[in-house]
Structure 1
Amino acid sequence: MSEHNHVVNKEGEVALNKVDDALNRIDDSKKDDILGSFDSFKSYLSDKIEMAQKIGLNEEVMAKAAEKIAGYLAAKEEPRNSEEKLLQELWKVGDKEQQHALAHMLVRVAQSS
């Protein structure tokens, strides 16, 4: 895969506009594996957070990426468990500031997993 398809470039800069494209490239079977249970989702998110930390991304950048992912999931994926349903409902009723705070909390949940 060429570099222009990556969300993070070799300088460690995040192209938030590419997050949706990256999510759209995940096949349905992989999405089902990731979203099948909340523990699977946390584990996947934890792996991505760990990778982001290794390349030097700070929490704010990770939260902005988490915001894009949460927005995508809320708009395009049906919740597969009660935890995902709660997150979707919280996301939908929150304003931009609350969604950003929720994204930070998701990053921290993933870091503690």
Structure 2
Amino acid sequence: MTEQPHIVNKSGEVATEKVEPVMNRISDERKQQILDDFENFRSYLGKRIHMAENIGLSEESIAKVAQKIADYLAKHEEPQNNEEQLLYELWKVGNEEERHKLAHMLVKMVKEKEDK
């Protein structure tokens, strides 16, 4: 049995280069469930952010992973709803710094929704 790549290794270090192989492991059916509805998407992100915080990742590390995931989604997945279309359009026009800030904002938005 081979070990699958993970974005965060056992010592808590983030390997953003592993985002794409990890995302590719998610079945098309599961991706559809996550992306079909924006609330499902936000809930999925919220659970992952909560897990990342529980293992001690900083907000900056979480935002870096969120940025890589957003890059992947922009390249490989079609927006499924108006909210995702808006995020996609913002992502396309943003430069690297703006995309990083948008990733921080997405993390913050999801965390605030989870905290309520």
Q: Is the structural similarity TM-score above 0.5?
A: yes
Aligned equivalent of 1:86:
86
**Deviation string for 1:43-82 (max 9, x for gaps)?**
0000000000000000000000000000111111000000
Quote the residue 1:6 is aligned against: 6
Match of 1:38 in 2: 38
Tell me the secondary structure at the aligned position of residue 103 of structure 1.
helix
C-alpha separation between the residues in 2 aligned to 1:58 and 1:74? 24
The AA in structure 1 aligned to 2:92 is K
Listed one character per residue, the Cα deviations across residues 8-48 of structure 1 (whole Å, up to 9, x for unaligned) are 11111111000011001100000011001100000000000
Give yes or no for the alignment of 1:53 onto 2:53.
Answer: yes
Q: Distance in 2 between matches of 1:59 and 1:105?
A: 11
Deviation at 1:92, TM superposition (A): 0.2
- TM-score when normalising by structure 1: 0.96
Large movers: runs of 4+ above 6 Å: none
Residue 6 of structure 1 aligns to a residue in which SS?
coil
Identity over aligned pairs, percent: 54
Letter in 1 for 2:48: K
Counterpart code for 2:110: A
Q: Which runs of 5+ in 2 are unaligned?
A: none
1:21 and 1:110 map into 2 onto residues whose CA distance is 24
Distance (Å, rounded) in 2 between the aligned partners of 1:64 and 1:50: 15
Residue 88 of structure 2 aligns to a residue whose secondary structure is helix
Aligned residues: 112
Structure 1: unaligned runs, 5 residues or longer? none
Equivalent position amino acid for 1:73 in 2 = L
Which structure 2 residues correspond to residues 9-24 of structure 1 after superposition, within 5 A? 9-24=9-24
